[in-house]
Amino acid sequence: MAGTGKAHLRDADKAVLRIEDLVVEFPIARGKLKVHAVSGISLDILEGETLGLVGESGCGKSTTGRAIMQLPRPTSGSVVLEGQDLTKLPSDEVRAIRPKMQMIFQDPISSLNPRRKVVDIVAEPLLIWKKGTKEQIQARVREVLDTVGIDVDQAGTRRPHEFSGGQCQRICIARAVVMDPKVIICDEPVSALDVSVQAQILNLLEDMKHRYGLTLVFIAHDLAVVKNISDRVVVMYLGKMCEVGPPDDLYAEPAHPYTKALIESIPEPDPNVRPEASKVLEGDLPSPIAPPSGCRFRTRCAYAQDRCAAEEPQLRKVREGHFVACHFPLIPALD
């Protein structure tokens, strides 16, 4: 797996955000070695779409999300937002574009300034970009906080520590939405929350998406959560793409051995489904400093053959909108 390719990309005119051959490397040991965090990812997101990025820790999903924001700038590749390649723009112009892209982080409590009041936190981006008069900004903050379910009269002057994790995540969502962004990158937004609160936040994100016409990049390690919210899912492994497809099709019939193993390792809340030891993926993620040659998944793959070590698989179409990077996919490729 762990392949490259662009077969899955759609018409460039329709995409709000298009990433091609994204590579992010971090030098270590005084530049002698490199961590290959992301090695050639291509993605596109249409207006109003939710793209789910899923994979285990260390697969490069968060690095991809941050590279889109140019935080830090990727080593190579292009990130095109509404026709502008961010990687080629100077820093001040990237800064001018950033309001169009917002982020929501995993830990809602530590991503809010503990010393500031809720209304000030949400108003800050508007003040920085001078979006209207004081009254207009106040009204906008009130409106957005209201839609995420925070009552300004009751809670507006409180500080983050007075709220629970779920409410802090609502404030983070309000802060992201208040700038009227094109794209919101959600990096594990529900992983730190309890299940009952997780459902509230997932429903809220879905509501906000419809209300404000948002396009979301949703990064998570929980496959069930990603399935619930996404219109298109990308499965990543060690800095590469394994499989791209619409969630219902991809989960029902995974074409990549890794996707299949990942889905089978999720414990289902049903006592009749007995966990089977044979289906479990053995071993750990290889080191991203010296990743395996060819397909990066081959060291843990039950179907691996000589070709997998020699040649990197390219994304190929298996169904309409469903692509896999594997030499021996579980569904035969169409070409």
CB of 222 to another protein, least distance (A): 8
Decide: helix, strand or coil at residue 12: coil
154 is an interface residue for another protein by CB under 8 A: no
Tokens of 50: 């939710």
Separation between Cα atoms, residue 192 and residue 55, nearest integer Å: 17
Separation between Cα atoms, residue 294 and residue 241, nearest integer Å: 13
Which residues from 7-36 bind another protein, rule CB under 8 A?
none
CB of 327 to another protein, least distance (A): 21
247 is an interface residue for another protein by CB under 8 A: yes
270 is an interface residue for another protein by CB under 8 A: yes
40 is an interface residue for another protein by CB under 8 A: no
CB of 109 to another protein, least distance (A): 13
**Within 13 A of 108's CA, how many CA atoms are on the CB side?**
29
280 is an interface residue for another protein by CB under 8 A: yes
**Range 202-235 burial, b when 16+ CB lie within 10 A, else e:** bebbeebbeeeebbbbbbbbebebbbbbbbbbbb
CB of 88 to another protein, least distance (A): 35
Which residues from 157-176 bind another protein, rule CB under 8 A?
164, 166-167
> Cis peptide before 271, with omega less than 30 degrees from 0?
no
Q: Which of 87, 106, 230, 259 binds another protein (CB under 8 A)?
A: 230
Separation between Cα atoms, residue 185 and residue 219, nearest integer Å: 8
Question: In terms of CB distance, is 9 or 202 closer to another protein?
Answer: 202
**Which residues contact another protein (rule: CB under 8 A)?**
56-57, 164, 166-167, 194-200, 202-203, 206, 221-225, 227-231, 246-248, 251, 261-275, 277, 279-282, 284-285
